[in-house]
Amino acid sequence: MKLAQLLVLMAACAGWQGEALAQGWPGHSGRLDVYGKSFVPLADWAGKNNFSIRWLSPGNTVQLANRETRITISRDTREAELNGVDVCLSYPMVVRNGAGYISQVDLETAIGPILFPAKNPRGAIVRNIVIDPGHGGKDPGEQDGSHKEKTYTLLLGQELRDELIHAGFNASLTRTADTFVPLPERPEIARRRNADLFISLHWNTLPGNRSVQGAQTFCLTPAGASSSNAGGSLFGADGSMGNRNNAKNMLLAYCLQKSLLHMPGVEDRGVRRARYWVLREAMMPAVLIEGGFMSNPAESKRIYDPAYRRQMARAIVDGIIAYKRAVE
């Protein structure tokens, strides 16, 4: 890791206050204190949770596996692969004397919620979903020639609403036309409608690089950790209401991203962390989906195709159903 990157990471690691994970958590005197955070021996965690552990590249890349799950983690990177889905960790794995260590924060807010989903209280079902088509009105979002992001987020939102209703959910939109809805109002609409889930829809661009493509799903950054993204991360917003849902935010993001990857040709750009306003202020589990890149010529053609958007809406519904099964 470059020195500048290390300094940024160390600065990002102050002030975390976590939630207790009820399952999959070792008590061990061999923990490390790194960047002011607690790191746990991977071998201990693996043993207590019936995972085998082996180094694919000694001192660099480790794999944990059992009959249902395979996790690959490398040092000096926040990228981990969990059952074929790229999941961004809050902190890189640390290696000391040939042993790997993972942060307590990541066990509690990334890996744990996916492997050991917390169940809803008895009778609390996932049924009422608010869909947030990004941008609108005076805010066009990203643009590709005459194509505006706000147009295609609304079209995808309408498809998703219809597919959810067909699947037996209650579904509604934060906007139903080309109107501007302020960011603070969007999660507030979901709160007023007693939403069980909040899903914000967007399309991506990367100016100057037309080759990048793929889908990514954002959930809220845990308090005190650094966000995956640069713009809009609002670093240091430790009082976010949405942090109360850290575990279910991650589980929902993972289920949706995994389902999106079942679509032909969709590249995995991972489950990511951000402090977008709509995630910070949501009082229910919330995610923001970047469905693809308008800046990529091939992917943009698919984005503008109604049949492809319908296929993506169905994939999102499948992800919601997978989440529902995990928590009920």
pLDDT tens digits for range 75-95: 989 999 999 999 999 999 999
190-235 confidence digits (pLDDT tens): 999 999 999 999 999 998 899 999 999 999 999 888 888 744 344 4
Give the residue from 56, 82, 115 where a domain finishes: 115
- As given in the structure block, the two tokens for residue 56 are 């694919």
Residues 266 and 180 both lie in one domain: yes
Residues 19 and 105 both lie in one domain: yes
pTM given for the model:
0.89
Task: Give the residue carrying structure tokens 């889905």.
Answer: 85
Radius of gyration from C-alpha coordinates of the chain: 20
Give the Cα separation of 86 and 292 in Å (integer): 16
Residues 219 and 265 both lie in one domain: yes
pLDDT at 10: 35
How many domains does the chain contain in total? 2
Give the residue from 115, 148, 173 where a domain finishes: 115
Residues 183 and 303 both lie in one domain: yes
Among 11-20, 60-69, 123-132, 197-206, name the one with the lowest average pLDDT.
11-20
Give the Cα separation of 272 and 227 in Å (integer): 8
- As given in the structure block, the two tokens for residue 90 are 């809050």
Give the Cα separation of 205 and 230 in Å (integer): 14
In which domain, by residue range, is 46 found?
15-115
Asked if residue 204 belongs to a domain, the reply is yes
Residues 263 and 45: beta-carbon distance below 8 Å: no
Please check the confidence at residue 238 and state whether its pLDDT lies above 80.
Answer: no
